[in-house]
């Protein structure tokens, strides 16, 4: 059973000419009983992904 699923998720911060795309086209499925480790350099979208999964932030599209 899929507990969390992201399909083509995009998250953009800012407005107008000063925008920053934190996520672009993220696809992720976490099944019951699975463990997940998000790893990557600073600014790669790890915290943004977890904030969206925890409903602490909203996605722009997807």
Q: Rounded to two decimals, what is the model's pTM?
A: 0.85
| pLDDT at residue 16 is higher than 90 | no
* Structural domain includes residue 59: no
SS (H, E, C) the chain: CEEEEEEEEEEEEEECCEEEEEEEEEEEEEECCCCCCCCCCCCCCHHHHHHHHCCCCCCCEC
* Structural domain includes residue 6: yes
* Structural domain includes residue 30: yes
Mean pLDDT for 23-30 is 96
* Structural domain includes residue 62: no
Domain count, the chain: 1
Structure confidence by residue, pLDDT tens digits, 27-59:
999 999 999 999 999 999 999 999 999 999 999
* Structural domain includes residue 40: yes
* Structural domain includes residue 16: yes
Task: Kindly indicate the confidence band of residue 22, based on its pLDDT and cuts at 50, 70 and 90.
Answer: very high
Range of 44's domain?
2-53
Whether residue 14 contacts residue 38, with contact meaning beta carbons closer than 8 Å, is answered with no
What residue has token string 């699923």?
5
């Amino acid at each position: 059973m899929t507990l969390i699923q992201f399909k083509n998720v995009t998250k953009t911060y800012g407005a107008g000419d000063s925008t920053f795309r934190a996520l672009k086209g993220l696809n992720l499925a976490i099944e019951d009983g699975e463990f997940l480790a998000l790893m990557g350099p600073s600014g790669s979208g790890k915290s943004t992904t977890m904030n969206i999964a925890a409903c602490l932030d909203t996605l722009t599209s997807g």
